[in-house]
Each structure stands twice: as structure tokens, then as C-alpha cells.
Structure 1
Amino acid sequence: MSSHEKSTASDAEEPSALERRSADLVTRLLKVGIDGLGPFDSAAKVAKAARADHPSTESAVHAVVRQHTKLVAGNGFVTGLGGLFTLPVSLPANVFGFHVLAVRAVAAIAELRGYDTTKPEVRSAVLLTLVGADATDVLKSAGLPTGGRLVGLVTSRVPRPVLMLVNKGVGFRLIAKFGTQGLLRLPQRALPVVGGAVGAGLDTVMFRRITKNAEKALPPLTGGAAQAVEGSA
């Protein structure tokens, strides 16, 4: 093989900048959003605290959603206060912070309903709730069944390379959405203070959409489904 052919083959194997960004984003969302970092509690710890304070699983789920709705609104408000001059810094911080909170909320809901968020399949399912209807396309691209709820994914033994494809697909879509959100929010968030109120409102609507999707896609594990999860561990 000539040096030119070797160089071409090496370039083909080298991940693109978009792939590296996607992988880094997914890694950070899972690490911070599910496992926690420093004072930012893990999803399992959030779920445990909610369970201790509420008599039923569903009341604990609702408490987690309420808690994180306030955090999301606060994040959107604070990062929008500075207006146009702070947007280059505040908007990326807002978008990342939003998705970290969304991941933790969904993962806490999953924990409360009997899922083990240390399992790769469950972690991928949590990520899929972030992209809404695009989850079907992500699953299809990875060669997985697209019908039914995400519970089908978490009760199966999915090869790690396939889960990596799922996570990569979510990462690609989130990065694309980051850009779209930035363009859509720019006019409304250009004004100081007003931008904060707009950011809080938009983030709250988006967050509730994600959690409603998660509550439907990840129902409480009972009977055979719970046994399947235990068997696949």
C-alpha cells in the first residue's frame, strides 16, 4: 500500500469533528446528568430523596418533575438576563445545562419506576427521550425495533456497539438542535432581562414535553418486564 493510500485509509478511520463533538456531548450528559458531579446529585440520589418524602411512586415522580421544572426555568432565566452581549457564552451554557437537568429528571423517573440507570440500555433509553419523535429514526438507524415503548430496549440485551450507535444518533440530533435553538431564541433573548423571561418560558415548555414523553415511554416495571430487566443485568 502506497503512503497516499495509507493516509487515505487513516483519514477514513479518523472520526469527524462532528462525531467527536457528539461523543463528547453524550459522555458529559450521561456522566453529569445520571452519575452526578460534585454538588450536583446523581439521578439515583434524587430518586431516593423523592421516594423518602412521598408515599407513592407516582407522587415521587411528579415531585421530581416539579423540582426540575423550577431548576430549568431558573437556568433559562439567569442565562438570558444579560441579553445580546452575553449570548455567545450564555446560550451554549443554557442549552447544555437544560439537557443535563432533563437527563437527570428522566433518569430519576426511571429509577423510581424500577429501572437501573447503571445499565447501558437504560442510559441509552434516557438519552432517547431527549429527541422526542426522532427516537424512532435513531433506533431504526441502529437496526433496532422502532415500535412500542422504550421499555422494549431496556428489557433486551443489546450489544454495546449497537448502543453506541444509538447514543451517537442522539448526540448528532442534539447538536443539530442546539444550532436551531440558538437561531430561534436569538431575537427574543437579545434584550436584557426580557431575554431571561423568554428563556425561562421556552425551557419550561420544552422540559415538560420531554418529561411527559419519558413518563409514557418508561412505564413502571412490573411482572415479566421487571424479571426481564433483572435477567439481562
Structure 2
Amino acid sequence: MTGMFGSRKSGKQTPVALDQGPMASSALALSRRVLAIGIDGAAGFDSAQQVADAALRDHRHPDRAVQGIVSQHRKLAAKAGFVTGLGGFVTMVVAMPTNILGFYILTTRMVAAIAMVRGYDVRDERVRTAILLTLVGTDADDLLKRAGVVSSGRLAGLATRQLPAPALMVVNKAVGFRLVSQLGDKVFTKLGKGIPFAGGVLGAGLDVLLLNRIAASALHEFPAAGTRIGAAR
């Protein structure tokens, strides 16, 4: 069976270069778009800096600010998931691709805002790559390995390593590939949203569940300044 990153025979996977193949440019474009809008913002969509600043202003303490950021994005994800499934199967076919891309952008902003509150510079390409890797959860170590990057400590540790730009680009492409793969998985999972209203409730629940997992990963991967040294994954 041919997998996303190689062919599987007898349960073993043969690695292939992550930056090759007809989907390579599309995978990288997806990663770049998610990072650009999720971190830097767009018309009508606040940047991670704006979200972090507002959370610190409202809550006055980093830990409470982080909780506020997660709560804010949880509500936004629930609303988007509900609206996508509300109209049933017919409208879902049109709305789902936009919803899924929007979900990745939303969670990227959440993770970036958390990282900023905890003192990370999201302008650093290495930090941006670490943020992107949180979207794929437990697959992050595997993607780093396949890209030739040895994982040691939390993802935020990438910021302290002198990784060359080509290595970061390969990792970003790898994440893009994985996100494309997850698009198909999400479409299949969300077929249950074909029933009006009930589909909206299910959609909201699924999106919140996944966002909570990514939030938990972000809280672990981007520790506060006082807990970074010696921290292990």
C-alpha cells in the first residue's frame, strides 16, 4: 500500500523525500497560508499579536490570559462547526472545505497567541514551524525524523537550534502533506453531519474536541520562560 510518505510492505514503511512529488508545492502553499493568516492575520481576522495583547490586557496574568485565549477559540470553533453542519448534507459539501481550512487557521492563531504570551517570538521561522507542528499532534516527531531533524525536548526547542532554511521548508511541506491527508479523514468523519441541526451539534463537538487536543499540546510544547530549561517531552 502506498502511504503519504512512502510505500508500506509487510508493515514497514520505506521513507521517501518529503519535498518530492506532485503535491509538494500544494502542501507547502497550504502550510504557508495557514501560518500567514493564522499568525499575521487578515482583513477581518485579528493577528495572534492582537489576540495575545487583548488577553493580557483583559486578564492581567499570563496563565489566565492563556486560559482566556483557549476559551475564546473554543467558542469560535464550536460556532464554526455548528454552522457548517447546520444545513445538512447539501450545504456541508460546499461549506466543509472552507470550515476545515478555517479550523487550521484558527488553531494556528490560538497556538501562536499562547506562545507569544509565554515569551516566544513568532516572527522567528523556527518558532513558526514549531507552531505548525502542533497541528499534527503525535505525528510531529515522525515528521521531524523523516525530514532529517532529530527531535530533542519540546517543539519550542527548535527555536534554539540553528536549523537551515531548507530544513524548515521540508518540515513545513511535511506538515502540509499531513494536513492534506487529514482533510480527507475529516470529510469522512463529518459525514454524520448530514442531518440538519443534529449535524451542527456533532460538528461543533468534533471541532471543539480536536481544538482541545491541540490546545493541550500547545500548553505542553510552549512552556513559560521559567519552566523551559531541562523540560522534556
2:197 is matched with: 193
Q: 1:223 Cα deviation (Å)?
A: 8.9
**Segments of 4+ moved more than 6 angstroms:** none
Aligned length: 211
Q: Is this contact kept in 2: 1:64–1:109, CA < 8 A?
A: yes
Greater percentage in helix: 1
1:124 is matched with: 129
Is 2:167 the counterpart of 1:162?
Answer: yes
1:50 is matched with: 55
TM-score (norm 1): 0.87
In structure 1, distance between residues paired with 2:88 and 2:21: 33
2:87 is matched with: 82
TM-score (norm 2): 0.87
Is 2:34 the counterpart of 1:29?
Answer: yes
- Specify which of 71, 79, 90 is matched with residue 76 of structure 2: 71
1:218 is matched with: 222
Distance 1:64 1:213, change over 3 A: same
Question: Alpha-carbon deviations, 1:90-122, whole Å to 9, x = none?
Answer: 111111111111000000000000001111001
Q: 1:222 Cα deviation (Å)?
A: 4.0
Question: Alpha-carbon deviations, 1:133-185, whole Å to 9, x = none?
Answer: 10001111122122321122112221110000110111000100110111111
2:67 is matched with: 62
In structure 2, distance between residues paired with 1:67 and 1:224: 26
The one-letter code matched in structure 2 to 1:110 is A
SS in structure 1 opposite 2:115?
helix
1:94 is matched with: 99
1:151 is matched with: 156
Q: 1:221 Cα deviation (Å)?
A: 2.4
In structure 1, distance between residues paired with 2:150 and 2:35: 23
Q: Which has the larger radius of gyration?
A: 1
**Matched-pair identity in %:** 46
Q: CA RMSD in A?
A: 1.6
Structure 1 unmatched runs, 5+: 1-13, 226-233
Q: 1:55 Cα deviation (Å)?
A: 2.3
